[in-house]
Each structure stands twice: as C-alpha cells, then as structure tokens.
C-alpha cells in the first residue's frame, strides 16, 4: 500500500449526526420520501428525478421554499463528535481531507468550512433570482457511483487511488471502498458495509491512528 495522502469522508452519518440531510428536511416539513426512494432503487426514476421528487414534497408544503429556508433547517444538524479533532490531526500530519456526499451541498459546504477541510462535493438545489427553489437539482455526486466523483477529486489533487482512504457508513459508500487503498466503516451496523470494509471503527479519531499506522508500514 502506498502512503496515505487523502481521506475521503461521506458526510451524513459520518461527519454530521444525521443519517440523511435530505431526510432532515423531509422531517421538518412533515413529509415522507419512502415512495421516491423505492422508485429510485427499483430503477423507475434516475438520480436527478429523485432530487426533483424530493423537492416537490417540500414545495407541496411550502410552495415558495427558498435556499435560505433549507440553510436554516440544516443549521440544526450537529457536526459529529470527534470530527473536528480528527480533521485537525490529519491536517497536522499533512493529510488532505474531502467530503464526497450525495447529501445537500449547503450542509457539506458548512461542514467543510467549519472543519477546515480541503474539498467538498455534494448535490445542489436550483433557485431563481429571489432564492426560491425551482424544483430542479444539481447532480454532482451519483449515489449509485460515488467513486466517479471521488476519482475527479483525486485527479484535481494529483493523488492516486492507492493513496486514499475512504470512510463511510452505507451501501452507497462501498464503491469508494473499492476505489481506494482501504475502506473504513464507521457508525454502521449494515452487514453489507461491514463485509466490504477493511477496517471498522466506532470512534472517528481512530482514523488518525489508522493513517499513522498505515504510513508507518504497520
């Protein structure tokens, strides 16, 4: 294994204490996207239509919902315990950090800025000149293939896949595990994720110790 130079983090359930930024907004508006989720995983709708269908749920409750509304709703989402210390320690070791998330970019941007991360990529919401959501989405990360987005990040940083570590908690993170030198399962009891992970942790700071060990040849 090459020396680890980059740690890629999923966001929801890993860097923030919510299983889904989308579901956080659904719950605020009192709507349920289970039907949209079923249709997506059954191949009845594509990823962009999945975003559109979720936004339609919000607009059914508040037709003039704005980006500011979404930012306010997501402001209640707390950064995961240990995330700040972990990213800070990785930075001191000279390790780059990035978010690769199918979640909402408003939250990903806040998390990356707060933690001092090097890069973040997540999906967005289109709005008109007054900030009202149009109902369209901006697809940057395909949850069916997050490795695609991760590869782009690594190319821009001049980092090879065998120099990266991926940290995730759901089946959508498995392609990241397959792409990188190693996959780390955090905060999950999903058997599929646990089977594919090279390492399993329940404390984020363990990532720092793992990187140090791997880079020392351990």
Instruction: Judge whether 162 counts as a catalytic residue.
Output: no
pLDDT tens-digit profile of 28-58?
A: 999 999 999 899 999 999 999 999 999 999 9
Whole-angstrom distance, CA of residue 138 vs CA of residue 117: 22
Instruction: Judge whether 12 counts as a catalytic residue.
Output: yes
Is the pLDDT score of 2 beyond 90? no
Domains of the chain in sequence order: 6-18+79-215 (3.40.50.1000), 22-74 (no CATH)
Indicate the pLDDT class of residue 75, thresholds 50, 70 and 90: very high
Whole-angstrom distance, CA of residue 118 vs CA of residue 96: 6
Indicate the pLDDT class of residue 1, thresholds 50, 70 and 90: low
DSSP state of 78: P
The answer to whether the CB of 180 falls within 8 A of the CB of 165 is yes
Catalytic residue among 10, 54, 105, 173: 10
The answer to whether the CB of 58 falls within 8 A of the CB of 32 is no
| Full-model pTM | 0.95
Q: What is the pLDDT of residue 108?
A: 98
Mean pLDDT value across residues 71-78:
98
pLDDT tens-digit profile of 16-32?
A: 999 999 999 999 999 99
Give percent above pLDDT 70 in the chain.
99
């Amino acid at each position: 294994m090459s020396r680890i130079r980059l740690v890629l983090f999923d966001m929801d359930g890993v860097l923030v204490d919510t299983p889904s930024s989308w579901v956080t907004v659904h719950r605020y508006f009192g709507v349920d996207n289970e039907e949209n989720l079923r249709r997506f995983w059954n191949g009845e709708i594509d990823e962009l239509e999945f975003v559109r269908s979720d936004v339609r749920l919000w607009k059914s409750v508040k037709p003039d919902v704005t980006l500011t509304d979404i930012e306010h709703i997501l402001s209640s989402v707390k950064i995961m315990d240990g995330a700040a210390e972990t990213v800070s320690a990785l930075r001191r070791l000279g390790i780059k950090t990035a978010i690769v998330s199918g979640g909402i970019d408003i939250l990903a941007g806040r998390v990356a800025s707060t933690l001092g991360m090097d890069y973040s990529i997540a999906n967005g919401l289109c709005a008109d000149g007054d900030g009202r959501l149009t109902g369209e989405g901006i697809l940057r990360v395909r949850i069916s293939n997050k490795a695609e987005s991760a590869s782009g990040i690594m190319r821009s940083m001049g980092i090879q896949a065998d120099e990266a570590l991926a940290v995730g908690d759901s089946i959508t993170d498995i392609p990241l595990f397959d792409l990188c030198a190693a996959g780390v399962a955090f905060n999950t009891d999903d058997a599929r994720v646990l089977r594919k992970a090279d390492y399993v942790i329940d404390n984020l700071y363990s990532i720092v110790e793992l990187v140090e060990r791997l880079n020392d040849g351990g």
